Structure 1
Amino acid sequence: MKVEFESELWIWDARRDETWTFVSLPVEASEEIRDLTAGQRRGFGSLRVRATVGRSSWTTSVFPDSGRKTYVLPVKRAIRAAESLTAGDLTTVTVELLDL
């Protein structure tokens, strides 16, 4: 499964130092992912993905966020620097589930 969407980068409230910066997947895509992957989750409910932002691609995990009712994708510092992104910026993201 591959999902392309636009999302705003946001900082995890527990760490306001931009160490943990995320984008949220759309609610509809998150529901579909939950249905497709029932029982296949790893630690913290994570799922392995291949993510792309701009010209940068990397392998990481998405995590369920019960407060937002979506999966969230961490966007590491190297990707944010390479794509000139900061918290609050809107960006196009592609997420492809691995291990299905």
Structure 2
Amino acid sequence: MLVDFEAELWVWEARRDDSWTFVSLPVDASDEIRDLTDGQRRGFGSVRVEARVGVTTWRTSIFPDAKSGAYVLPVKKAVRTAQSLAPGDTVRVTVEVLDLSQD
């Protein structure tokens, strides 16, 4: 499953620096991911993905955010630096879900 979307980079509120920067996946795509990964989620409800921002691709996990109902994708500093991004910027993101249920 591929999810292609635009979202604003935001900083986890418990941090005073931008070391924990995320984008939120769309809620409808998050609902579909939840359905497709039933039983495949890892610790903290995470799901393995391959993500792309600009020309940078990396493997990581997305995590459920109970407050918004969406999954959140951490965007590491190396990606933000390579793509000249800062919190508050809107970015185009592609996420490929790697953990899918085998029905």
TM class by shorter chain equals over 0.9
Q: Which amino acid aligns with 1:78?
A: A
TM, length-normalised to structure 2:
0.95
1:9-88 → structure 2 map (5 Å cutoff) = 9-88=9-88
Give identity over the alignment, percent.
67
2:99 and 2:45 mapped to 1: Cα distance? 14
How many residue pairs match? The answer is 100
1:6 match = 6
1:14 and 1:43 mapped to 2: Cα distance? 20
Aligned-pair RMSD on alpha carbons?
A: 0.6
1:68 CA drift (Å)? 1.1
Q: Which amino acid aligns with 1:41?
A: R
1:16 and 1:6 mapped to 2: Cα distance? 25
1:99 CA drift (Å)? 3.1
1:48 and 1:41 mapped to 2: Cα distance? 8
Pair 1:95 & 2:67 matched: no
Structure 1 segments, 4+ long, off by >4 Å, are none
Q: Which amino acid aligns with 1:52?
A: R
1:16 and 1:74 mapped to 2: Cα distance? 16
1:90 and 1:69 mapped to 2: Cα distance? 20
**Structure 1: 5+ residue runs without aligned partners?**
none
TM, length-normalised to structure 1:
0.98
